[in-house]
Structure formats: structure tokens, C-alpha cells
Amino acid sequence: MFLRVYRVTDRIGIALLKSSVAFGAVSIAGAHTIVAALVRILRVFGVGGQGVLLIFRRITSILLIIAAIIARLLARAGVGTARVATRTSKGSAADIMARRAAQAEIDATIAEDPLRTYNRQLSILIVVLLIILIGILWAVTQSNDPTVPVIAANSSGLVNINTGQATAEATAVVQNSLPIANPNVTATPLPAILEVRGSMAYVVREKGQLDIWAVNVGNRTPIRLTNNPEDERDPAWSPDGRRLAYAGRQDGNWEIYIYDLATDTTTRMTFDLSFQGAPQWSPDGQWLVYESYQGNNLDVYIVPVDSSQPPQRVTNNPAPDFSPAWSPDGRRIAFTSWRDGNQDIYIFSLDDPRDEASVNLTNTPARDEDYAAWSPDGNLIAYSAVDEGLEKVFVKPGDDPNATAQALERGRTPEWAPDGRSLVFAVDSIDSTHLVAAPFAGTGIATEIIPVPLGASNPSWTAAPLPTNLVNAGGLPPAITDDLFIEQVARVETDPPIRLNVLRNVEAPNPALSDEVNDSFNALREHVLEVSGVDFLGTLEDAFWSIDRPPQPGEDLRSWHKAGRAFAFNRNAILGFPAPIEVVREDLGVDTFWRVYLRVSDDAQNGQLGEPLRRMPWDFASRDQGDVAAYDEGGRRRAQMPEGYYVDLTQIIADYGWERVPAGNDWRGNVNSINYWLFRKTDGLSWLEAMRQLYAESQLGGFVRATSVPAQQSIVETPEG
């Protein structure tokens, strides 16, 4: 009897062991397949991301209950088997006759093995639980619970705008349900705010040059629509979505063009050496409104698409008027202007076509509004402006200047969806930009339409999809394929590994930079000369500093000049009539930055190079003219926009990897910490890491922790270039 009990328990143990191994193998190797299959099945029944999560939570709970019951039954089975073995072993070995007499009873005991009873109970339990599980799946797939929110990706993750809470668990579910490339077929339904679909055009800056791209909404594969080596920007879809108006320099100066997607033809609409830009369509598709710089003044013009009439001037105020937008009713034009001393949005009425009758819609001296966009019903205007250090999207009634603007989201250059239910705008992160749609009418979740290169802007949304043949062709190839510069670095085996490199034909107290950055500077200097006609960077106020140079008040002791990774142009370039540069103040976050505009050469002031200014420069000289407020604020805005053509020097410098330096906290009272003249190239290095490229640690002296090097050797002569 003891042998029989041993065999029974041995078989049970082996069976349990094999079952555990098999279950573990299936769990590890097949979990992904099972989960993926279950997700597909649930999506067939219309279950979204939250529904899938809800089902998995319920299944997990049921499986935990099953595991607990199985463990309890197995424990009871083990106890029963042990009791049988114990009861058998207690028989007297000497009393053989008694054991034989009890044989029938023992056999009956084995025949009624408790383990079999528990197995039957466990099988019945599993069947019942499977039935319950199927019922739960059916109930959830039939549920249309309106309280379950739709989750959609935006620029900062998966965020519910109404709660501001990230939903990390749903990230994988949403990412795995992105629409496939075919614009007409998607793997899962789009979020409600994107159901209008259509296509979107936008501007991308690559390798120092602007092109227009487009993408079908719901697709993540954009195509390039323009690829001229010169800039193209300001895309605007026609009302039927078949044509795209834009501004370009493809004929040598800024003009307005119309690209017909169906015929793949481009028509030039304006013929003037002066600047033309920012076109927008009339609601009937028969006219274009745009900005034009004629007579040293930036104004709003209109022109018929069929060229049956010459362009007509709409505004004539001496202040700049730009960024026009035609209302859906065809009777109003919104535009941006400086006519009241700050940058506001105005409404011009075609029913009273007098420029002086234009109404200041925003009238906010503390904010500079721009990029007006009418809602499809013509009742609202969206625009963007910097507010408390952040660029935000605002919405305001188009006929009520006294109404309070509603701040919608952080972003810039807004555009309405064709159905008016949402707005799309550009949101910048550290290393990229995102085109994000946020709901306006009703509730919903902000949804990222597509990630785009850093600095992309000006989205234009139409209900019409891109032509299939255009999508299948994959778009145009880039016109510029070479890098803007190639940094050729000659490393040496000694310590330090990098040497200085002399800047050829550059006037400066010490015209040298680190061999890690000198090639980018040389290429930058050549490009500035090409686009402005001025060798502005041929003369520098500063380049390399020796390690023992004492800083002036307001200058950083750990200056990047000492690492050979900074340059400063002549700060006095703000002086003169006209001044070579104009500087615009930008308060971003808690810091003050400066955007520098370089005036192009006198020979190119007919529109061949550059474009007119739209942002009012800062007047540093006013601080010394007896104005107490200007003295306390470190200056004030100019009262009048400077005339002429300029290039955005700050943007060009950034194209070559150099970054501007924020003003110091005391810049209002300390001219040395204003820093509009200062640029650096860190390449992600800390200051000490950059210094170690030029100096041995023993040469850094007090900049690093003390070593065994004698004190008199802590500062040494600068290595030669």
C-alpha cells in the first residue's frame, strides 16, 4: 500500500512540475502574441484605448482570483494525499493478517482519492470562470460609456486637457493604433477633432532654407511640395483645396505664386521687385490678399486670381500693416499693424473701405498679437502672442473689441480646422516642433497631428485630401543636400587634444577659435555675406580670450570666449543712420533674449535681398535721454519702424549651430551684460569639458579642484593656434 501511495503522489508531482514548466513557457513566449491578438479582436468590436485597459484590468483581477482558488485547492489536495500516506504508514508491520483484512477498506480509500475530487471541482470552477470572462468581454465591447475619455497623443505625451493628467498606461496602446500610411484607410478611428481629415500644408526650415511640406491628416508620412534652393513659405489653401498660394524667392525676389496640385503647374501672381508675402484667399477663391512693401511702407494689397486687374492697395497707414486674413463672409479683412504704437490686430471692412475706419480688435499694449485666422463661421478670430514669457494661442470674437480673449493653449501660428471644431498650431519642444490640434467647440483632447522639424510653422488646413498621384510620388527631393559646413578637427595625441585655429582675414583682438568650431564660423561668415551683401562678421569685437583675462563687471568669469567657442560682433553697430543692425527684445520664460536683424547692403535695398521689418526694435539710447521710465527699463521700443530690408541674423547664426546668450539679470543697469552681440557654440559640452579640450587640467588652476600641481603653475600662457 505504501508503494501505491508513493506512485500516486509521484505522478501527481511530475504532472504538476510539467504543467508549471509548460505554463511558464507559454506565458513567456506567447504573452505578446496573445495580448496583440486580444487587442485586435477588441478593436474589431470598436473598443478604444481606455476600453482595452478596462478589459485587461478585469481579466487580471479574475486571473488573480483563479490563481488563489487553484493554490487553495492544490494545498488541500496535498494535505489529503499526505493524510492517506500517513494513515497507510501507521499500520503495524507485524500484523499481516490485520492488514489483509483491511485491504478492502484501503482499496476503497484509494478509489476515493481526494485529489480526483478536487480536480473535478477545479475543472468545474474554470469552466464557470471562463463563462463569466466571456460575459465581461461581451458587456464591455457593447458599452458606449460616455464617461470613458478618448486618449490622443500631443506634444507633451498623452494628456487629458480637462484634467491635465498624463495617462502613461495608455501610451503603448495609442502608439500601436496610429493610422497607416494610406490616407483613405486607417487602422483605428481618428480622434473626433481629426475626423474632418483633409490635408495640411506647413513650412519647414532645413539647412538654412525654407520649403513647404504637406501631409494628409491621419497620416504620418509628409511630402515636400516645393524644393527651390531659395525660400518658399506662407502656404494658404484655396477654398476648394485644389490650389496652394505661397510666397517665394524662386525668381530672385519675394513674389506671390499659386501651385495647382491637380495639374502640377505654378503661376506667378505678382511682378514687382519689392517684397510680397503672406497671401490668403477670398472665400470665393477669386482674389488674394497679401502684404507688400512699396514706397518704404508695408501695407495690405489684393489682386484677382485671374490677373484681370492690377493689385489694389487696401491700407495706407504710415505704420506697417501685414499678415492679412480674409473673413468667410468676404466683407472683412483682419491684419496686424503698429499704427497705435504696439502690435495689434485690426479689422478692415469692405463695407466702409476707409483705412482710418479700421477697428483695433485686440488693443493690448502688453502683448504683441499676430497671425490672425478666422473661424469657418466668421464669428471668431484666433491669433498668437507672447504672454508672460510663453507664446500662446488666443481666441476672440471678431466683432467685439471689448470682449476678453480666451487663452487656449501654448503655441504659435494658429489655423482653424475646416469644420471649426478645433485649432491647429505649432508647439516647440527642446529639439523639435509638433503640429497639435486642440478642440475649441465642445470637449476633447489635444492631439498631435505630426511631429515636424524644430521651427516649423504656418500650418494651413483644408478639407480636401492630397491628390493620390502626388502622395504616391513621394514628394519632391530636397534642393540642398550638402551640409552647411563640415567641421574638420585635427586632434593631437598630447594633452590637451585640441588646438586653436586662426580666423583668416578677420579683424579682432585675438582672431582665433577652437578647431572644434572654426569651420562653422567661417561658413557662417560667408553665408551672411551672400544673403546680405555685407561682410558683417569680418570684424569682431571679441573671439578668443586668454585664460587669465579678468572679466569686466557683468561678464562671466567662466566665459566661453576662454574655451574658444564664442564670438562677439561690434556692439556699437546699433548706432548710425541707418544703423547696420536693429535689435528686438524677446522675453522668453524668465530670461531676456535679443533678436538681431542685419540691414542688407545699399545696393540690395530694392528687394533683391532681405525683407522689411515687422517687429519694433529696442532703443537702448533712450535710457540716456532723460526719460526715467526708459532709464529704469534699460531703454524702450522705437516709436517708428526703421525703413529698408533686413535679414534675421539670429536665425542665420542658429542655422550654423551657434546660440545666442541671454541677457544678465542686471542688464538694465549694466551695459556689459546686455549680450545682444554675444554668441556661443557649446555642442552639448559643459564649460569645463570645453576648456579641457584646450588646456591640461594642471593649466586650469582655480577652475578645478586643487591637485598636486604647485600653485605658481596654476595659470600658464595660452597655447598658440
3-state SS string for 689-700 = HHHHHHCCHHHC
Least confident of 40-54, 168-182, 471-485, 530-544: 168-182
Name the packing angle between helices 49-89 and 114-141 (round to 10°): 170
Alpha-carbon torsion (295, 298, 299, 300), positive or negative: positive
CA 609 → CA 208, 499, 528, 612, distances in Å?
A: 15, 37, 11, 10
Per the rule left: phi > 0, alpha: psi between -120 and 50, beta: everything else, 507 is beta
DSSP annotation of 156: T
User: For the chain, what is the mean pLDDT?
Assistant: 81
Work out the pLDDT band at 61, boundaries 50, 70, 90.
low
Residue predicted with more confidence, 142 or 197: 197
Which cell is 406 given?
480666451
- Tell whether the model's pLDDT for residue 719 goes beyond 60: no
Backbone angles phi, psi at 548, to 5 degrees: -100, 15
> Omega before 418 cis (within 30°)?
no
The one-letter amino acid code at 712 reads Q
DSSP annotation of 611: B
Q: Is residue 707 part of a domain?
A: yes
Distance CA 585, CA 252 (A): 31
Q: How far apart are the first and last CA of the chain?
A: 97
- Tell whether the model's pLDDT for residue 20 goes beyond 70: no
Work out the pLDDT band at 182, boundaries 50, 70, 90.
very low
Q: How far is CA 659 from the centre of its chain?
A: 19
CA 108 → CA 105, 112, 362, distances in Å?
A: 5, 6, 96
Query: pLDDT tens digits, residue range 354-374?
Result: 999 999 999 999 999 999 999
Contact predicate 348/355, CB 8 Å: yes
If you average pLDDT over residues 395-409, what whole number do you get? 96
Q: Is residue 534 part of a domain?
A: yes
Least confident of 182-186, 213-217, 240-244: 182-186
Find the domain containing 86 and state its range: 2-91+99-144
Residue 133 confidence (pLDDT): 62
The one-letter amino acid code at 239 reads P
Contact predicate 348/323, CB 8 Å: no
Residue 27 confidence (pLDDT): 44
Query: pLDDT tens digits, residue range 41-52?
Result: 444 444 444 444
Residue 120 confidence (pLDDT): 62
Q: Which of 144, 163, 178 is the last residue of a domain?
A: 144
Q: Is residue 220 part of a domain?
A: no
Work out the pLDDT band at 63, boundaries 50, 70, 90.
low
Task: Tell me which residue of 195, 210, 217 sits closest to 471, measured CA to CA.
Answer: 217
Q: Which helix (H) or strand (E) segment is 659 a member of?
A: strand 659-660
Residue with cell 489529503: 80
Contact predicate 482/232, CB 8 Å: no
Query: pLDDT tens digits, residue range 240-284?
Result: 999 999 999 999 999 999 999 999 999 999 999 999 999 999 999
If you average pLDDT over residues 50-78, what whole number do you get? 55
Q: Is residue 181 part of a domain?
A: no
Backbone angles phi, psi at 714, to 5 degrees: -70, -25
State the burial class of residue 428 (Cβ atoms within 10 Å of its Cβ: 0-12, 13-18, 19+): middle
* Number of domain units in the chain: 2
Q: Which helix (H) or strand (E) segment is 371 a member of?
A: strand 370-374
Query: What are the DSSP calls for 120-154, one per residue?
Result: HHHHHHHHHHHHHHHHHHHHHHT---TTS----EE
544-570 in b/e form (b: 16+ CB < 10 A) is: bbebebeeeebbeeebbbbbbbbbbbb
Distance CA 278, CA 203 (A): 12
If you average pLDDT over residues 596-615, what whole number do you get? 97
Residue 440 confidence (pLDDT): 92
Which cell is 588 given?
522668453
410 - beta bridge partners? 392
Query: pLDDT tens digits, residue range 441-500?
Result: 877 789 999 999 999 999 999 999 999 999 999 999 999 999 999 999 988 888 899 999
Q: Which of 144, 176, 207 is the last residue of a domain?
A: 144
Question: Mapping DSSP to helix (H, G, I), strand (E, B) and coil, where does residue 290 land?
Answer: strand
Distance CA 691, CA 687 (A): 6
Contacts of 200 (CB under 8 A, 6+ apart): 214, 215, 217, 424, 435, 449, 450, 459, 460, 461, 462
Strands 332-337 and 321-326: antiparallel
Q: How far is CA 364 from the centre of its chain?
A: 28
Task: Tell me which residue of 440, 363, 373 sits closest to 403, measured CA to CA.
Answer: 363
User: pTM for the whole thing?
Assistant: 0.74
Q: What percent of the chain has pLDDT over 70?
A: 72
Other C-beta atoms within 10 Å of 46: how many?
13
Q: Which of 109, 144, 179 is the last residue of a domain?
A: 144
